[in-house]
Structure 1
Amino acid sequence: MKLFTIFLDGTLTPSARLRQQIAGSICIAADGGIRHAARLGLQPELWLGDFDSAGPAVPEQFHSVPRQYFPPDKDKTDGALAIEAALKRGAQKLVLCGAFGGERLDHSLLHITLAIALAKKNIPCLLTNGETEGYPLLKGDTHLDLPPGTMFSLIGLSAIKGLTIRGARWNLENHNARLGSLHALSNESCGRVHISLRAGYGILLAKLNL
């Protein structure tokens, strides 16, 4: 499965787990996300955006990286453009590094909706900033390898039917939840977590113990 890492302009805490998740991937940097590539010692194959957040100084190791410029006044974010570029290059799986945090809450929320849209096209997508991971959840089964003791919350982005959670401190069986329900908040993994939905969709957010 062709894996791409998209470096976004949110926060990022490098960790052994994150390095393992992006190992062997092809990297694309969206504007200020280039700083994460520098910290991880990775060379993107493309650097794109309107370059309003990257700063004027370009690290020497990135002088040879191809750049694609876009005007500031556009109808897509730099992150969305980076995802499109990855898909055009044959991406079959994506890791969005720096998907959370930073100054733009609207961008963080957009990244969640983009990940949901990708999942609906059968393209797995992990959102992460190294401390928090996000997993889109759709109808069907999802299996997640979370370290034991990891706190996680399942946030429905629609009404949910037939929610089953196993491998957690508080399991659920065939649970129905209205939009805004708190029943799947602040759970804790016991290892491999199994999530099943009969209808609806949402996002699972896991807070890692670093």
Structure 2
Amino acid sequence: MRIVIIANGDPPGQDEAARWLEAGAMLICADGGARTALALGLTPAHVIGDFDSLDEDALAELARRGAQLHRHPTRKDETDLELALLFAARTLRDEERPEIVILGACGGRLDHEWANMLLLAMPALKHAHVSLAHGCERVFLIDARDQPATLTLRGSAGDTVSLLPFGGDAHGICTTGLEYPLRDESLFIGPARGVSNVLLGEEATVSLRQGMLLCVIIHHAPTTDNR
């Protein structure tokens, strides 16, 4: 099952939102992301947040359309997107192949954008495949904090792939299908060695023995691969 979350950053286009919502995906909006949904003609199943970015008219329209509104206090420790992700994780707890795609997580305030990427490392999301999608870019986390991990990347020859150590140094990195291979190597916090690798074909793999890697893939040709 796939859950799509629209956050309150740069809004996705109509085609991008429709592509991720195909095949019966559930739509959840984090506070002001619901304004984007309404503008795109979409009705979220759930809207979650303190609603400081939604006026009463928008809330009334969402309720009229059947959206479930989950209001939280303004004074809270979590961001609205974090609350939406925790709700999605609980919803997908018993699913066999859970997937969460976050739209609208980039743009706007830099601190919010960076915090949105940090949310990928939340323990509650470990059982799900979670990604941020922003136009031609997708962002994943490869998490080997508890055990070695492998991620398969899919795209087209020439797509850009960046591997960035996340939360500390990353060790035991092995890649296949990339122009500049890594063979049981480390990437360290500070140097930018992992930026701008290149996909050689339609598929590549990245294995990690210890630590975390933020993987950013930039598709330079249109792709219909939603995995």
Range of TM-score over shorter length = 0.7 to 0.9
Of 89, 92, 99, the match for 1:90: 92
1:162 aligns with 2:161: no
1:141 aligns with 2:150: yes
Aligned identity (percent) is: 26
Per-residue deviation, 1:167: 1.5
Q: Is the 8 A contact 1:120 1:138 kept in 2?
A: no
RMSD: 2.4
Aligned residue for 1:168, secondary structure, equals: coil
1:77 aligns with 2:79: yes
Moved more, 32-41 or 181-190: 32-41
Per-residue deviation, 1:61: 6.2
d(CA) in 2 for partners of 1:78 and 1:45?
A: 16
1:45-194 alignment, distance < 5 Å:
45-55=45-55, 57-58=57-58, 62=62, 63-64=64-65, 65-90=67-92, 92-102=98-108, 104-118=109-123, 121-139=126-144, 140-157=149-166, 158-190=168-200, 191-194=202-205
Q: Is the 8 A contact 1:8 1:31 kept in 2?
A: yes
Aligned residues: 208
Per-residue deviation, 1:141: 1.0
Which residue is equivalent to 2:29?
29
Which residue is equivalent to 1:208?
219
Flag structure 1 segments of 5+ consecutive residues without an equivalent: none
Per-residue deviation, 1:22: 3.5
d(CA) in 2 for partners of 1:127 and 1:162?
A: 25
Calculate the TM-score normalised by the size of structure 2. Answer: 0.80
* CA deviation string 1:80-117 (max 9, x = no partner): 11112222323532111112112x22222222222122
The one-letter code of the counterpart of 1:20 is R
1:208/1:17 Cα in 2 relative to 1: closer, same or farther (>3 Å)? farther
Aligned residue for 1:126, secondary structure, equals: strand
